Amino acid sequence: MEWSNQSPRMIPVDVATRWNSTLHMIKVALKLRIHLDAFCSYVYTDEGRSAFANCSKIVQISHEQWFLLQNVCK
């Protein structure tokens, strides 16, 4: 098969605008909520602090903030 005869394929772009990009990012975060909460809980243990030297910038999202993010997506 000769590749020169093939037309180039476009990668589908799911996020064409900044608003769509932000909405997409929030939806992905909501899908990963359980894992993000578990990671944040781990980081603040003694073992987590030794594994991650600069964990002061990691902020755990509260239940109220998760609820707000869910409502933004709706």
DSSP assignment of 9-70 equals PPPP-S--SHHHHHHHHHHHHHHTHHHHHHHHHHHTSHHHHHH-TT-TT--PPPHHHHHHHH
pLDDT grade for 64, boundaries at 50, 70 and 90: very high
**pLDDT in the model for residue 40:** 87
Each as own residue / partner, the long-range contacts of residues 54-59 (CB below 8 Å, 24 or more positions apart, any chain) are none
pLDDT mean over 40-68? 86
